[in-house]
């Protein structure tokens, strides 16, 4: 994604006035890179300066819905909607996009696009229970960075972990079958046998001592 595309994506997402420093902070670009792009956007009418004293700008049309992200050119990523989606995933246990879409009241395409954007930021992942929230930090930057195919990568990685876990479980079950009882149970049985022998020896010793005392008295 080019510097101009990053700035445009920010402009189309941000609903409040902004300046070059704020854009630089949110996109990771330098202020010197942002300023000429702002000049171009003012010139073509995308944004407008709203202060005579300070370099503060706003979108010319506050209801622009087209995202500047060329990987998703027809999407406007709403941070509030993304946060609501994260809250839903956090409360539930979802293994499919279909299930999320049904509970969230959005299309599967919408959920897929947002999940892809959130996964690209490292905000969501997959575990044995399904989709999970890793963090909610920087959710306001959703859509700025997108890695196509990342959901497939997560699913493939999760499936591989499950496969390895299954193999380990099978190996543990095989070892248990070969070795028999657990080591701790073996130790307990060995202690019980030792204890029984010791108690028998103690009883014999006590009888012998009693006999010796009787003999000495006589």
Query: Looking at the 3D structure of the chain, how many domains does it have?
Result: 3
pLDDT for 63 equals: 39
CA–CA separation, 114 and 86 (whole Å): 10
**CATH assignment of the domain containing 48:** 1.10.10.10
pTM of the predicted structure, to 2 decimals: 0.47
CA distance 87 to 212: 82
> Residue 183 above 90 pLDDT?
no
Range from 73-82, 109-118, 205-214 carrying the lowest mean pLDDT = 205-214
Q: Evaluate whether residue 69 is within a structural domain.
A: no
Q: How confident is the model at residue 133 (pLDDT cuts 50, 70, 90)?
A: very high
Average pLDDT over residues 75-104: 88
Q: Is residue 39 part of a domain?
A: yes
Q: Please, which residues bridge with residue 124 across strands?
A: 133
Token pair recorded at residue 7: 């700035």
Same-domain check for residues 99 and 129: yes
- Domain contains 144: yes
For residues 218 and 214, what is the distance between their CA atoms, to the nearest angstrom?
A: 6
């Amino acid at each position: 994604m080019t510097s101009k595309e990053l700035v445009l994506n920010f402009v189309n997402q941000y609903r409040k006035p902004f300046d070059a420093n704020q854009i630089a902070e949110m996109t990771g670009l330098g202020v010197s890179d942002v300023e000429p792009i702002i000049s171009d956007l003012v010139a073509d009418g995308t944004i407008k300066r709203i202060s005579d004293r300070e370099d503060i700008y706003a979108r010319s049309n506050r209801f622009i819905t087209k995202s500047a992200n060329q990987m998703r050119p027809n999407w406007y990523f709403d941070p509030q909607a993304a946060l609501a989606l994260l809250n839903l995933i956090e409360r539930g246990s979802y293994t499919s996009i279909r299930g999320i879409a049904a509970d969230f009241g959005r299309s599967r395409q919408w959920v897929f696009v947002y999940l892809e954007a959130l996964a690209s930021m490292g905000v969501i992942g997959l575990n044995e229970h399904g989709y999970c929230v890793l963090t909610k930090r920087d959710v306001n930057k959703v859509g700025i960075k997108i890695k196509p195919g990342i959901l497939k990568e997560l699913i493939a990685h999760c499936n591989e972990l499950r496969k390895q876990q299954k193999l380990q479980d099978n190996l543990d079950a095989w070892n248990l079958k070969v070795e028999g009882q657990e080591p701790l149970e073996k130790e307990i049985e060995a202690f019980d046998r030792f204890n029984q022998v010791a108690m028998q020896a103690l009883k014999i010793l006590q009888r012998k001592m009693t006999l010796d005392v009787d003999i000495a008295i006589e």
